[in-house]
Structure 1
Amino acid sequence: MNASALSFGLSCALLVVPSVQAFPYVDLIDYPQQEANWDRFFALEGRLQRGFDTICGDTFCEGEYSDIRALRLRCSVDAARGTVHECLWAFAASDLQVSRADGAIVVRQPTWLCRLPLQPGTPVEALHAALAARDPLHDPLPGTSQSVYDGLVGCIH
């Protein structure tokens, strides 16, 4: 076998070796591998959304907007360390009013992106455990005295 054929063979072999991790961060749904956390994550998000819906009428939804909705929660994970980098929770609302002057409907549709007050380097398993708690909206997040609710106060207004 000549040197060029050997070189070509090695190049081809290197192309088929799977990469360890192409990027350092993944969505929590995809930790530790593609869609491995799917069910756990959506159960966690559902608990938080139900908690928000329960308190909204007496808190955030008493003000200018009575129909604030929790949309989507996303968390990024340092795949090599198994720690949560950050979590953002998206919310939206609307206000529709009929203009008496011309009958047009006047629309306001605010959105908010709220950061969960996480301790840097929070392990994925610790986050899951904290948000599986009795009151995931109000119980403290791992390594802090703050809760998810604390992250919403000052964000949604």
Structure 2
Amino acid sequence: MTAVLPLVRLPVLAVALALLCSGPALATEVPPPAHVDLVDYPTPQANWNAFRDLRRRLENAFDDVCPDTFCEGEYSDYEPMKLRCSVELATGRVNGCAWAFAASELQVDPATGALLHQQPTWLCRIPIGGRTSVASLLASLDGPQPLFQSLPGTRLTVFDALADCLR
């Protein structure tokens, strides 16, 4: 036996669906962002080239100092990952920067042949003075040794921050 829906219910169902689809949830507007990634200040990808160059120079400097500093410890393979800075869109002030790192150590268990592994990660905060602009941050790290140049509003360097974070 086949069930048949009464015709009276179909218009009611159509009206209910129309009300659900046109409710206030669709009418709300998303506010503009208050903060953006440094590469997207003041417009999307405006600082992409400058930040990519800075990141490359920082990574190269890290690779140069790693064997004699950070990489002498418990782990033999440290890798810099993402470097990001948050910028207040209205003022252009840098809220903060952080650099993510990962390391690994792999060994073979001689008795079982199992691979023993450790894979820690760190998120290293880069200290920046409270009123630092995007331009002053990029300018302070311009040059051949950005890892050792003083950060705006502090007497610290990126190297100092990493030494505290990675040990």
Structures share fold, TM-score greater than 0.5: yes
Aligned counterparts of 1:41 and 1:24: Cα–Cα separation in 2: 20
Aligned position for 1:6: none
Aligned position for 1:88: 98
From the two aligned structures, give the one with the greater helix fraction. 2
**1:47 aligned to 38, 57, 76, which one?**
57
Please list the CA deviations of residues 1-31 of structure 1 after superposition, one character each: whole Å capped at 9, or x if unmatched: xxxxxxxxxxxxxx9xxx9x70110000100
Q: Alpha-carbon deviation of 1:133?
A: 2.6
- Runs ≥4 in structure 1, deviation > 2 angstroms? none
Aligned counterparts of 2:84 and 2:52: Cα–Cα separation in 1: 10
Partners of 1:26 and 1:78 within 8 A in 2: yes
- Pair 1:131-2:136 in alignment: no
* TM-score between both structures, scaled by the size of structure 1: 0.85
Task: Please list, as runs of the form range in 1=range in 2, the aligned pairs for 1:87-106 lying within 5 A after superposition.
Answer: 87-106=97-116
- Pair 1:73-2:109 in alignment: no
Aligned counterparts of 1:133 and 1:80: Cα–Cα separation in 2: 28
- Pair 1:146-2:156 in alignment: yes
Where structure 2 has 5 or more consecutive residues not aligned to the other structure, the ranges are 1-26
Aligned counterparts of 1:48 and 1:77: Cα–Cα separation in 2: 20
Q: Alpha-carbon deviation of 1:140?
A: 0.5
Please list the CA deviations of residues 117-156 of structure 1 after superposition, one character each: whole Å capped at 9, or x if unmatched: 1111211000000111332101101121100111111210
Aligned-residue identity in percent: 50
| SS of the residue 2:138 aligns to | helix
Partners of 2:57 and 2:144 within 8 A in 1: no
- Pair 1:62-2:72 in alignment: yes
Aligned position for 2:21: none
For 1:48, the aligned partner's letter is: L
* TM-score between both structures, scaled by the size of structure 2: 0.80
- Pair 1:26-2:36 in alignment: yes
Calculate the aligned-residue CA RMSD, in Å.
1.7
Aligned counterparts of 1:133 and 1:24: Cα–Cα separation in 2: 31
Please list the CA deviations of residues 35-91 of structure 1 after superposition, one character each: whole Å capped at 9, or x if unmatched: 111111100111111110110000000111121111110000011111100101001
Partners of 2:106 and 2:116 within 8 A in 1: yes
